[in-house]
Structure formats: structure tokens, C-alpha cells
Amino acid sequence: MIPARTILVLLLCLAAVPAPGAEPPPAQGTRLHFQKTLFVQQTPGGKVFAETRRVRAGETLWKILSRDYRIDPDALPAFVAAFRQVNPEVDPDRLVPGQVVRIPFKVEQQIAGRREPLPRTYRVRPGDSLWRILRRRYGVARDDMGRAVAAVVTANPRLRKNPDRLLVGQQLVIPEGLAGPDEASGEAGAELPGAHRSALELLADLGCRVSRTGETFLPLGRGRTVRLDAREFPLVTGPGGKRVLLDPRSRLSPALRTRIQDAWDYRVVAGVDDAVEAYLARILPHLGFYELAEGVRTIALGAGAELLAETRWTVVARPRDLWEGAIHLLFPPDAALDPALVAEARRAGFAVHQLGAGLPKVAAGPPAGRVAELDMTDPAAGAGRLLAVFGVPHRVAPEIELPLGGGVRYRIRPQLTFQDRGTRYAVPPPTPARAATLLGRGGYFVVSWPPDVAPLNRLGDLLGLLGIPHTRTTVEVPPGGGLRLRVSGVVFDHPDLAALLYPGRAATGRLFLTEAPLRAETAAPLVARGLLPWVVRTGPGRPLR
């Protein structure tokens, strides 16, 4: 039996023997020559990847790139420019059969910093046409060709009669602004309007991802890649994945912007508006927010109180933000915003932003101490408290004996009795059913308060019975504010009571009965308008502080 170690040695020896007809490996130090040589050349605008190729009869650079390398027609000007860079001694319009040239098969373009402009003049060569010069040399897209030809004709009056008639050696003036899709304009590092920085900060607050560092690589068809410096071209990704590429210096040509949008479904926003509101108007609609609404937004505060926000936009990033309290209110720069109401909106779960301006810091003075309250948890007891401050004799739930005539007397317990200017008043109890009739026969003026009557209506009835003029109204304060408090209540004059509830302010305001749970700070706009709030409390909870 052959040992395993011997078998292993035999196998290694057989592996080292070349197979019949096989070429032995080259000796150490031998140079290997392949049919093609690959080159990577760093250029001012990026990198060019090229390979050597021998030109065959009848071939042109245009045909080689489009037929053999399948370069998209819109990208051909970029590859012709790359050919010039890797073949500085070769005329791309005059390839010679048998000539070995470097053919770019991948162009990685980096748009960052200032680019060297193309020559402002061009000397016509044999076979040139104005269309070919603009297309191949200056990279003008088909859609822009009409505008470009008109600009060249304007700059060269001799072409007005016939733009197609060019003379060999003729010097053409090429206007600025006709740089191809790979040319950049604008100076890197120049100061951008403050709207750009403000917009990026706000977009981040709205839940967007803002890429401002690193690079963005965008393949744009076969062999062509654009590399963008994120410091110059921030990429904003909305909460739903929609993306906006910002070109604040307008350095991408219309053709390249269109190419990026078609290939990547990005929205390219070029330039920066002086006003952040106008700048955002071109960005926000393309980020795919769950809600992007304009106009008035209502914020309910409860019990007849609400905030009216006249926003430029209301933004809800995701559906869950509706119940997680992440709703953004964006106000125009000239909106009047009371700080107390801004704080109230934030407590209600809304984020408040004012475009192009800081939120006000100084609030109107709040009422002294705390907001005055009237406890109406027990309606009869609460009504009694109101009568007490007016000095009206009253009793809450008294037991009274009614003489009904013929020696018949009936005991009953009304909810409330009071007397004013010789008239006795009574609020009948729920039972018996004939309680109102019995009180009337006993000499009382019956005030009927069914169980479902709102406390504010009860108090309004009392003011009317006492002969105190009052008005049921809804007020909005501050008038004309971008953020206003709307409250329903009863307004009346009573200087003595005002002095009791708000010492030192009686001469400056009217009393305003309301069920709205107002904080002292939130009530400040009411006080500023001369309305002293008297908050009606109807439950065990207390108004917000």
C-alpha cells in the first residue's frame, strides 16, 4: 500500500509539469505586452479613464465613441473634450488610419471650484459648420442650439445673411454663457445670500437629511459620471425619500441639470433667491412631505378658544407627526407674532418658524398675579358666587315652605334663590315635575336652567336679570396678527368688580367672562386690548398656568 505522503509528492510533481502543447509560464523579469494599455489621467475637472486603440480606415472619433463604446449622444461632447485631454497632440476631427490613440471609455467629472473657460474665439476648419462647432467643441445641447446660434450670429454680424456659410480660417467670436454641460460658471467661495444658509437649517428642522460634506457620485449613462462636492452642491433628502440637489451658484448648465433629473429623478434647484421665502418656494414642493399646505391653520385650545395661524406653509413631514406633535408652522417675514401665543402654539405641539426673521423676544405684560377664576363646577354655587360679588342676597339650595292657599303648605328645595330690587327669583330643582309651577304660585320669578345649559349662558342670564348690560361676542387678538387668539365670551362693564379681580387695572379694561382655559401669559393679548379675563372653571381641573 502506497503511503499518503508519497501520493501527495507525486501529485505536486505532476502539477509542475506543463500540459502537452501548453505554453510554459514566462521567466521572472519578463515584460508582458497586452494588446491594449489602460490609462487613468487626472484632469482639472475630474478623471479620464482611457484605453489605447488603433484607428481603422473610415473611422472617426464620433463613430468610435457612439458605435463601439455606445456613448450616449448627449454625453459625446464631454468624451470629445476628454479625448483632447488624453491626446493633446491629436486633432479629434482628423484621425489617421493606423494611428494609435487613447479612447476615453469613462469620464468622471468633478464640479467644484472655478473652471478654466473655453476660448472666446474659434478659427474655422475645413468641414466645420456652426452647428458642429457649437455641438462638438462647446457642448451645446440640442434644446439650446437655437439660442446659441442666435447668440453667435449677434456676436458675428457677418453671419447674419447666412449663418451656414463659414470660411476656412474665419475667426468666430463665441459669446460667454455657451459653455458645454461640463463647464462650470461662478466663483467657488463667493459669499452666498443668507437665504441659502437659513433654508438649509430650516430644512434640517423639518426632518430632511441635508448632505453638506463629502461628494455625490451620479452616473449619467454609459461611461459618464459626475462627481459633485457636497459643500457646493448640497443634497437634500425629504422624509419620504424625495431628493433635491441644490446648485446655489448656478454652475450646472441646463443640459446637465436636465440629465441629472432624468437619470436620477432628482430635482435640481439652481441659484439662490435673496428672500428665503422665495427660495423655499422652489424647494419644498419637491421633497415629498406628507402635508404641505398654505393659508390659515386652526389650533384648538379647548372650551371655545383657538389659535388662528396665517402661515406661509404648514408642513407635516410624516403621517405619524400628526399625533406626535411635530407639525411645523412657517410664517412669512412680515407676520406679527405675539411671543405668548407662539409659546401657546408650541405647548400645543406645533413648531413655529418665521422666515427670514427671528421670533419676537419681548412679550406684552401679562395680567398681574394670575388669571381671575369663577368656579362653576357646581352651577348653583357658582352663580351664587357671582351674585355675592354684586352684593345680591341669595341662598344656594335652601329649603323653603310655599303657602299654596287653603292652609296647604309645600316644602321644596330650589337650586338657587335671590332677590333684587324687590323681585324674588328661584331656580327650580329637577324634581318634582311641577316645581316651577309651585314656585310661581309661591311668588317667585322662575329662572329655568335645564341641565344642559352652558355655564356661560347661566351667567349671561344672571347679568340680564340684574340689569347689567353685557355682550356675547368672539374676539380675535391681536388684531391683524399672523398668530391670533380667538376666544368666545361675555363682555360687560363693572368697575368695582374689575378693581376687585384685577387691582390696578380696573380703569383700563372691561371684564371678559370666558370658559377658555387661559394661561396668564396667553391672556396678555386680551389685556392689551382692554379685556380683563374672568375664566369660568367647570371641572376639577384648573386652567392652564
Query: In this predicted structure, what is the pLDDT of residue 177?
Result: 62
pLDDT in tens, 24-74: 555 554 444 445 677 787 766 678 888 998 999 989 998 888 888 888 777
The distance of Cα 398 from the centroid of its chain, to the nearest Å, equals 63
Cell numbers given for 347: 405647548
Q: 477 CB contacts (<8 Å, ≥6 apart)?
A: 484, 485, 487, 525, 526, 528, 529, 531
Q: Residue ranges of the domains in the chain? A: 38-111, 121-173, 194-286, 291-354, 393-452
pLDDT in tens, 412-463: 999 999 999 999 999 999 888 889 988 988 889 999 888 888 888 899 999 9
Minimum mean pLDDT among 1-5, 6-10, 58-62, 168-172: which range? 6-10
User: Which residue shows C-alpha cell 362693564?
Assistant: 493
CA–CA separation, 283 and 354 (whole Å):
17
Domain 38-111 has CATH 3.10.350.10: yes
Let me know if the fold of 38-111 is the same as that of 121-173: yes
> Is the pLDDT at 216 greater than 90, yes or no?
no
CA–CA separation, 163 and 144 (whole Å):
16
The fraction of the chain above a pLDDT of 90, given in percent, is 30
Query: In this predicted structure, what is the pLDDT of residue 24?
Result: 52
pTM (2 d.p.): 0.66
The confidence band for 236, taking pLDDT boundaries of 50, 70 and 90, is very high
CA–CA separation, 482 and 297 (whole Å):
11
Instruction: Please say whether the beta carbons of 81 and 182 come within 8 A.
Output: yes
Give 365's Cβ-side CA count (13 Å radius): 6
CA–CA separation, 43 and 29 (whole Å):
33
CATH number of 194-286: 3.40.1350
pLDDT in tens, 509-543: 789 999 988 888 888 888 888 899 999 988 754 44
> Is the pLDDT at 303 greater than 50, yes or no?
yes
CATH number of 121-173: 3.10.350
Mean pLDDT of 93-109: 87
Cα dist from 249 to 112, 232, 238, 268, whole Å: 11, 8, 22, 12
Instruction: Please say whether the beta carbons of 256 and 226 come within 8 A.
Output: yes
φ/ψ of 68, rounded to 5, equals: -85, -30
